[in-house]
Every structure is written in structure tokens, then in C-alpha cells.
Structure 1
Amino acid sequence: MDELLGMSIGGAIFSGNSSIEDEIDRLPIKIEEADVHLREKGRDDADGYGWVNLPYQDLTKIIETADWLARFDAIVQIGIGGSALGNRMLVNALLPPFYNELETPLRRGPRFYLLENSEPATAAAVLNRIDVSKTAFVVVSKSGSTTETIAHFLWVWQIVRDKLGNKAQEHFLVITDPKKGALRKFAKATGCRSLGIPESVGGRYSVLTSVGLATAAAVGIDIEKLLLGARQMDQRLAMRQQIWENPAWALAALNVIHARLGRNMAVMMPYGDGLLAFAEWFAQLWGESLGKNGFGTTPVRALGAIDQHSQLQLYMEGPDDKLITIIDVQNRPGFELPRKIEDDVLREFDFLCDKTLGDLLSIEARSTASALIKAGKPVVYLKIPEISERYVGALVFFYEYVTALVGLLMDINPFDQPGVEQGKRYIYSLMGRPGYQEYESEVEKYFGICSKFEIIV
């Protein structure tokens, strides 16, 4: 198997009198125990651990459903958080820029839209760009009760039913818990198509389930290669090695040690527009998995080279509270710059001749890493051969694995989200959902504290 990713580490290896490398060398037993626990629980398909098995799943039903979706002119996926971010990430990485504006054959499948946030202007704009009679709507919520998703769904369902009558259900795919929940009941009652989300897989780890794969396959992404990359990464990480020979072990240990040293921010800075949404996906995976019991580090999304011109000054000379990850891509499309500059007034830029924009982006990634290391900042430098299905699948599985390991090393559950649930209860109370009225007084109490300092301009 050729290299799936390369990892280099530099910068603040020492902090005071304590060597981070020495600290990490004391962690191998705990890391190996966490790794064994992760794999044993995955093998048992324990709650939260089912994503470990996803690289080996049977894709038959997902591909069959994707073939049906591909017959439509457009697909609108309705979901939020883990029910949308993975889809955004796959489309951003693996489809051409401005995909929806392309004509066939450059556009290999239906146009693809997401309805996520409860923003009326966005919802109306999506609806104005589609013909509902030629559109498939994919409704995704594992619980079947996610407020933003259900609100969008009810709105769209009414519109489609008003236009298509008893054929409306032929335009809907429900992806939810295989046994329970309101959306599962809806699918059974209407006979619309449905897929299940494995009960043992949480939303933010679900991109390699039907949640991410059904629409990905419909728009022309090779989901078998995605799983191949994830499978090969899993096999690579399963090798019992020294800590510095296993990239997931090393990266997990680095994050734990730097968190102990007060570096409580995890900057994810890929170089290349195709990995912009990967940083967004990472932010949810990292933040929701690890932010518990006073632990965790705050994910910060950045994009090279754009954020060299906005955030890098802070990283270089601001507080030493960040562990910075840079992702570079080895092989990029060419797009050659001029071989020769004819205009005398532009001759000072001769140094750019015979190079490509891709060369420039990779040079900027290496240069930024070098500058940060010179400033004594901790840097993790990852390199993938290219942005393609296989390597994106490998990168996704790698970060899921690292995140889970960090959680276990911090003695927290990386698969629940108790803090999110309180906000949901308050939303239900203010929206008038039966059974949640008791929380309305709490909202008034705590929001009232904020209102005392309201300033009117």
C-alpha cells in the first residue's frame, strides 16, 4: 500500500523544563489501552463505536438508492450538524468548483443543495432554483426530531404535496434511525424510500454511512474508493508500533500534552479550497466530541493561503495557546503561470515564471509551517498525495480515530453531547412542544440576566 498521508512535527517541542517528547514517551501504555478499547468496542458494535466498522460495510442498498436519486435534476438534503457537514465536505472536496452551475457532462449528476440553518432567505433561494417535480428531497435526522430539520421538512413536504398530490412521497428519501422516531413512522406511513443510520453511530461520525454516501454516490463521487481509503487507513493504524510510528497515536498524544500545557486551541489549516469544508467538518467532530467536563480544545477553522493574510499574525505573535495543523496536497492541477513576462514594468515578478498556482500553494504551506516553527509555535504538518476519494476517505477515518483516542486519553466519552441537549430542551419549550413547558421559566431566568445589560443604539 502506498503512502496515505505523511506527518511531520515541529515547533515548540519543549515547554519550560518539560520535554513534550519525553511526556509523550510516558503515554504508550495508556494509548495502547485506549486503542485496544476502541477496537474491542467497535468489534462489539457498542453504542457510539460503530463507525469503526463502516469501512467494511455492504454498499448494495446505498448504491441502489443513489441510482434512484441520480435520475432527478436536483437533490435537496435537509439536515444539520452531522447530517449535513459531511455531505458539504465531500461535495467541496470531490466535485468541481461551482458544480451546480456546470452543464452535463461536466456535471456528472443532479445539482446538490443543503437546507441546514433556519434562515428563511436561504430556504427561499434554494426553492427558487429548483423544479420540485424534478427534485429529490433527502431528510436526515437520526433521532427523527431535530428541530431545524423537521421545520424545513414540514415546509417542503407541504409545498411538494400541494403541487404533486399523492405522488409527493415519490420524491422523498428519509435517512433516520432504522427502528424508531417520527421520521421512521413517516416513512412507513407514506411508503417513501428510506435508509437507516446504524444505531451505534453518532451523527458527527456518520459521513461514511448512508447520511453522506447516498447523495455522494448520486452526484458522481466514487463511494467504494472512499471506503477503500478508510479501510486502508484502518489497517495502517491497526499495526501495533512504537508511538512515533503510528500517526494516530502520535497526534492524539500531542493534542493531549499540548492541552495540558495550556494550548487550548486546535487550529486546522488546510491549503486548498477543496479542503475548506473539511475544516468545518473537523470543527464539529472535535468540538462536540471533546468539549466536556472542563476538558477539550477549541477547534479553529482556517484556510491557507487566505488566512495567512488574516489570522497568521495572531498565530505567530499572539498568545502561545494553539496547536496548529497544516494540511498540504502533494499533487495539484497545473494551471501554469506565464513562461516569460513581456511587460518591462512587471519584470520584477520573473521569479513566478514557469511555476504553477499549485506550486505556489504548496510553497506557501511549507513556508508558513517554517515561519511558525521558527517562532517556536507547535506545528503538525500533514501531506496527502491528492484530493481524491481514496485519500479523503483515509483522512476522514484518520481524524475520527484521532478524535476518539484523544477523548479516551482525557477520560471523557467522545461519543455523547450532553451540553447540546440542554439547548434543545430550551428550544422545545419556547416553540411550545408538549412536555417541555417546565424549561420556559429557566430560559426567562437565564436570558433575563443577559437582558439586564442590553444596550440600545
Structure 2
Amino acid sequence: MSNSAFLNWTHARHGRISGTDPASLTPRLGEAANLLGLELAAGRLPFIDMPYADGMTARLQELEPLLRRFEHMVVLGIGGSALGARALQKAFFPAQDRPAHTGPWLWIADNVDADSLEAWLQSLPAEKTVVVVISKSGGTIETIGQYFLIRDWLRTARGDAWTNHVIAVTDERSGFLREEADTHGLASMPVPDHLGGRYSVLSAVGLIPAAFTGMDWQALVRGAKTVGAPLCSSPDAATLGAHPAWHLAAWNHALMQAGYSQLIFFSYMPLWAHFGFWFAQLWAESLGKEGKGSMPLPAVGVTDQHSTQQMFLDGPRDKACLFLTCSSLPQGRTFPGDMPPKWDFLRGRRFGDLLEAEALGTRMALHKTGTPLVEIGMAQPSEEQAGRLMALLEITTLLTGWLLDINPLDQPAVELGKRLANARLGAPGYDTETADLGAFLAAQGSRQEF
């Protein structure tokens, strides 16, 4: 069986981008290659060359005996500190969602959800629980708020031994969590410099939970490095121009230029459905700037054939599609031979044949309604292949941002909401935001009950 994932471009240049010439971006190729070389040399693209991989691998191998002492892991993180870990959990540790599971157990606290947090603190055995608190800056208020409450819970239950139950994943040199780790002797792993949260899944951020649940986390890293390796060894125009990430970026640039404002991520790999939510943050937070970008729409096959697909097929013609498939998924049981005559056509077929047929039907339906579509075909549903997919989408996102003439590595609009929330809670140093909040709350309006 081939170990190669692929992009199927057969129905990509369709609708309003029919006949679009990929060579139209050739003048930008040299510019992008030069920028890529400069940024790699400066160490500002660690999700591509992964210079931290050897040190991270050694440290994570040291931590594995500690992780095996526990039955429960609680991950405190939000956004990029949680979405990748959850995608990997759902893809490669589905046992926790199934009957008769006996552990280990991974709980991801990725929201301000007092009910769930209280349930964990009431029910989890502290002596069998390890807590991973993740914040690059050490100042993410949602995560640090959870940490204060869980730290108090651990102190009450474990006394001075509470420090044996916490792993901090944060900046190597500065920030509140670094201070906590240094002061209390907490186990810790760094978030590498220049590695933003939405690009961090294949660092300690996503790989500590992966190791805890028994995934082949080293295969995830190998897969990602395979995709980035050509660009790291020869970041020139010829290499970049042949790379699938450049082709995907050029396609997306053409789509946006033609008014396709939404990008469906349609997963016909059921266990990989949460990769769509991980991709949504990566794409939206990287590219939604200066009135530019396209809206990512996670969709799950076949579930959303009975839901949002009505809009995809018969709504506004503003959507393109990345279509995730795998030809080597488990096929399940064979249909029995004593079905009613109406269903005779299923006799002798496997349950998985339905997924393949429905995926083909959806692809063709999207094509017939004018939707540009690229199929992403995975060779196997393995960790190595997942690493390839994540690296491809990260590099594609970076290059698409450059073609849009924006910075795909920052998130300025997100920071505004954080500042306003801090002001609302009374944090010092937010005078402007406090005044803005006062004006917003004082506005005269109306309410309608229902």
C-alpha cells in the first residue's frame, strides 16, 4: 500500500475560476521563496523546520514514566492550546468515547465552563490525576483562572505533593507560568519561540496529551517533517513552486479573488472530523485580516449531508471545498443475507461501503453545482499521515497569507476582546477599554422577551 497522501486537482478549477492559470502567480513565487528563506534562517517558522524536535523528543521521553503513573490527565488550554490535542484525541484515542473503556482518561478544559470544571473537581481522584496547564505567554486569563482553582484543589487533596501533579507548558524564560514552574519545581516543557498557538499542535502543546493516551507521537513529528523537509533544504523558487502547499495557496488566492468567501473542510474520515475544527482556527485566525480571507466551514460526512449540505449545494455560490478522504478505513461488518428485497443491493457489501459511496456522491454533487473542490486523500488513518496533513495545512495557511499581503502569524483583532474582558474584570492598565465598556453599556436600547 502506498504511503503517500495526495491532492486530487481534477475538479479544483471549476465555477468562476475555470481556466485560471496557476502560472499567473509566478511573479509572486520568487518573492515568496525569498521570504521563506529569510524567515526560516531567522528561526521564525519553527512549525516548518521544527528545530525544537530533538530536544522536545528527549524531554518528552523523560516525562513518559511520570505520565504513566496517572489515570487521568486534565489539559488546561484554549484555542490553539486545545483544538489540536482534541483532534488527535478523537482520531487516535476513540476508546474513551466508547463502552467499557477503563482508562486512561483525557479531559480538555478549553472553555469557561463552570459546570464541567466543578464535575471534574468533584469526581476525579486527585492522587491519580495530572494537570497540564498550557499558555505560551502565561497570561491567558481563561487558562490561568482554571489553574488557580485546580491548584487549590490539588493543594487541599495532596498537600505539598501537589507540585508532582502539574506540568507547565509555557515560555522557556518569562511569564507567570514560567515563574510558577521555577518557584515550585513543577515539571515543564517549553513552547518554542515564534510558535503561535494555532501552529503548535506538534510541539509539547499537543504531544504531551498524545503521549499520555499512548499515541505514536513520534510518527506525528516524522510525518510533519517529511512535508516541510524540501522547503528547509532548498527554500528556492523551484522547490516552492513544486510543493503542494504552494499549489493549495495559489488555488485559495484565486478563489478569494473570484469572490469565493467560504472554504468548506469536509471530512469523510469520521474519526478525523475534529481536524476540521482545528483547521478552522488555523485558517480564520491567520487570514481574517484587513477585510481579507475566507471563512472556514468544518463539515462532517455523512452527517452534514443531512444538514448544512443543503446550503452548500443550493445556497449562495460563494463556497469552495477541501474534501478529506481515506481509501483504507476499516470497512466494518458485512450486511446480512436476509434483508427485505428493497435492500437487496446491499447484500454482501460492507458497512464502510456506504461511506465511500456517499463521499463520491457528495463530491459529484458539489461539482455539479459549480463548487471548486480539492480532494485530500490520506493513505492510511495513521499518526504519520496526520502529521503530514497538519504540516501541509499550516504551510498552506502561511503562504496564502503572504499572497494576500497580510501577516498570517499574528491575531490583532483577537487581542481586543481579551483587553475588554480584562477591563470588565477590573484588571489595572486598561483605562481606554474601561471607558469604551462604559459607553457600550450605557447605550440606550430595547429588549424583546420571548
Q: What is the TM-score with the length of structure 1 in the denominator?
A: 0.92
CA apart distance, 1:353: 2.1
Match of 1:21 in 2: 20
Measured against aligned partners, the alpha-carbon deviations of 1:263-291 in whole angstroms (never above 9, x if no partner) come to 11111111132111100100000000000
TM-score, structure 2 as length reference: 0.93
Report if aligned partners of 1:289, 1:407 keep a CA contact under 8 Å in 2: yes
Deviations 1:162-197 (Å, cap 9, x if unpaired)? 111111111001100100001111111111111110
Instruction: Give the counterpart of 1:117 among 108, 111, 115.
Output: 111
Equivalent residue, structure 2, for 1:455: 448
Checking the alignment, whether the CA contact within 8 Å between 1:174 and 1:192 is kept in structure 2 is yes
Distance 2:189 2:73 in 1: 16
Q: Which residue of 1 aligns with 2:126?
A: 132
Amino acid across the alignment from 2:168 = V
- Secondary structure (helix, strand or coil) at the match of 1:301 reads strand
Which residue number in structure 2 is paired with residue 445 of structure 1? 439
Q: Deviations over 1:33-60 (max 9, x none)?
A: 32442243123212xx221122771110
Figure out how many residues of one structure are paired with residues of the other and give that number: 445
Distance 2:61 2:27 in 1: 42
Paired with 1:97 and 1:362, the residues of 2 have a C-alpha distance of 24
Q: Is the 8 A contact 2:223 2:388 kept in 1?
A: yes
Letter of the structure 2 residue corresponding to residue 228 of structure 1: R
Q: Which moved more, 1:329-338 or 1:114-123?
A: 329-338
**Runs of 5+ unmatched residues, structure 2:** none
The yes-or-no answer on 1:187 pairing with 2:181 is yes
**How do residues 234-245 of structure 1 correspond to structure 2 at under 5 angstroms?**
234-235=228-229
- Alpha-carbon distance in structure 2 between the residues aligned to 1:67 and 1:43: 36
Distance in 2 between the 1:112 and 1:336 partners? Answer: 29
C-alpha contact 1:426 1:440 (8 A) present in aligned 2: yes
User: Out of 293, 297, 301, which is 2:298 matched to?
Assistant: 301
In the other structure, the counterpart of 2:94 is 96
Q: Cα offset for 1:358? A: 2.3
- Provide the rounded CA distance (Å) in 1 between the counterparts of 2:272 and 2:230: 23
Q: 1:14 to 1:306 in 2, by over 3 A?
A: closer
Q: Out of 274, 288, 293, which is 1:291 matched to?
A: 288
Q: What is the CA-CA distance between 1:447 and the residue it aligns to?
A: 4.7
Which residue of the other structure, out of 69, 72, 77, is the alignment partner of 1:71? 69
Alignment of structure 1 residues 26-41 onto 2, 5 Å: 26-41=24-39
Write the letter of the residue equivalent to 2:415. E
**SS at structure 2 position matched to 1:434:** coil
Code of the residue aligned with 1:173 in structure 2: it is: I
* Structure 1 partner of 2:227: 233
Q: CA deviation at 1:231?
A: 1.5
Say which SS state the counterpart of residue 292 (structure 2) adopts.
coil
- The change in CA–CA distance for 1:14 and 1:355 in structure 2 (over 3 A counts) is closer
- Residue equivalent to 2:60: 62
Of 15, 39, 46 in structure 2, the residue corresponding to residue 50 of structure 1 is 46
Secondary structure of 1:114's match?
strand
Question: How far apart are the structure 1 equivalents of 2:76 and 2:203?
Answer: 16
Contact 2:71 2:129 in 1 (8 A): yes
Amino acid at match of 2:286: S
Give 1:85's aligned residue. 83
- What code does the residue aligned with 1:53 have? D
Say which SS state the counterpart of residue 21 (structure 1) adopts: coil
User: Conserved in 2, the CA contact under 8 Å of 1:55 and 1:230?
Assistant: no
Contact kept, 8 Å, 1:66 with 1:215, in 2: the verdict is no
Q: Is the 8 A contact 1:227 1:393 kept in 2?
A: yes
